[in-house]
């Protein structure tokens, strides 16, 4: 069983620009993944409004019965979130590593248009390697 079920990347407007499934039992079609991503964008924003103290940056971890959802938001508003097994370790490190891959293979790609879906082969290849690699590797980062 994979520790990570799926990975989403959404742009600062809440549009889904990348979705990768790693073995969920219940398949989501394209429309459903778009809706889920947009809904998460809204929930993230509302959670900031409901904070009892100032300086809230939004949901980092959502814990449910059968999964955890880890979310990382970059300073420019791009969100990376991963659905994983409950209690999966080092997901924060993985998301930051995915952010590095995103900056290296997507943002530096001169043919990539901002806010558009990601279709970069090198990004896909390196992301697959990162997810399959032993999680212990991320301990050192």
Partner 1 sequence: MQFFGGSEISPSPPAPTASGNNGHMMYVFNRNGVCLLYREWNRPLRTLDAQQDQKLMFGLLFSLKSLTAKMDPTSAVEKGNLGMPQLPGQGCSFHSFRTNTYKLSFMESPSGIKIILVTHPRTGDLRESLKYIYNLYVEYVVKNPLYTPGSPIRCELFNTTLDQYVRGIS
Q: By CB under 8 A, is residue 136 in contact with partner 1?
A: no
Q: What is the 3-class SS of 77-97, one letter each residue?
A: CCEEEEEECCCCCCHHHHHHH
The reply on whether position 67 binds partner 1 by CB under 8 A is yes
Which residues, 81 to 120, sit near partner 1 by CB under 8 A? 83
Query: Which CB atom, from 33 or from 126, has the smaller least distance to partner 1?
Result: 33
Residue 3 in the binding site for partner 1 (CB under 8 A): no
Report the C-alpha gap between 113 and 97 in whole angstroms.
22
CA distance 116 to 113: 6
User: With left for phi above 0 and alpha for psi between -120 and 50, is residue 30 left, alpha or beta?
Assistant: alpha
Does residue number 55 form part of the binding site for partner 1 (CB under 8 A)?
yes
Query: Which pair of structure tokens corresponds to residue 90?
Result: 């080092």
- Cross-strand bridge partners of residue 84: 4, 68
Does 24 help bind partner 1 (rule: CB under 8 A)?
yes
Q: Which stretch binds partner 1 (CB under 8 A): 10-18, 21-29, 92-100, 114-122?
A: 21-29
Give least dist CB 84 to partner 1, A.
Answer: 9
- Please say whether the dihedral angle defined by the alpha carbons of residues 13, 15, 20 and 25, taken in this order, is positive or negative: positive
Among 3, 58, 99, 126, binds partner 1 (CB under 8 A): 58
> How many whole angstroms separate alpha carbon 106 and alpha carbon 112?
7
Per CB under 8 A, the list member of 29, 30, 65, 121 interacting with partner 1 is 65
Query: Footprint of partner 1 on this chain (CB under 8 A)?
Result: 5-6, 23-28, 32, 35-36, 39-40, 42-43, 46-67, 69, 83
């Amino acid at each position: 069983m994979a520790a990570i079920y799926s990975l989403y990347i959404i742009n600062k407007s809440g549009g889904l620009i990348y979705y990768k499934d790693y073995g969920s039992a219940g398949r989501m079609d394209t429309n459903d993944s778009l809706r889920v991503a947009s809904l998460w964008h809204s929930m993230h924003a509302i959670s900031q409004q409901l904070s009892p103290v100032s300086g809230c940056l939004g949901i980092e971890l959502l814990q449910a019965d059968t999964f955890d959802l880890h979310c990382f938001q970059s300073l420019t508003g791009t969100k990376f979130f991963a659905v994983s097994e409950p209690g999966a370790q080092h997901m924060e490190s993985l998301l930051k590593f995915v952010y590095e891959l995103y900056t290296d293979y997507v943002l530096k790609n001169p043919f990539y248009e901002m806010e558009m879906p990601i279709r970069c082969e090198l990004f896909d290849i390196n992301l697959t390697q990162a997810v399959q690699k032993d999680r212990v590797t991320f301990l050192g980062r």
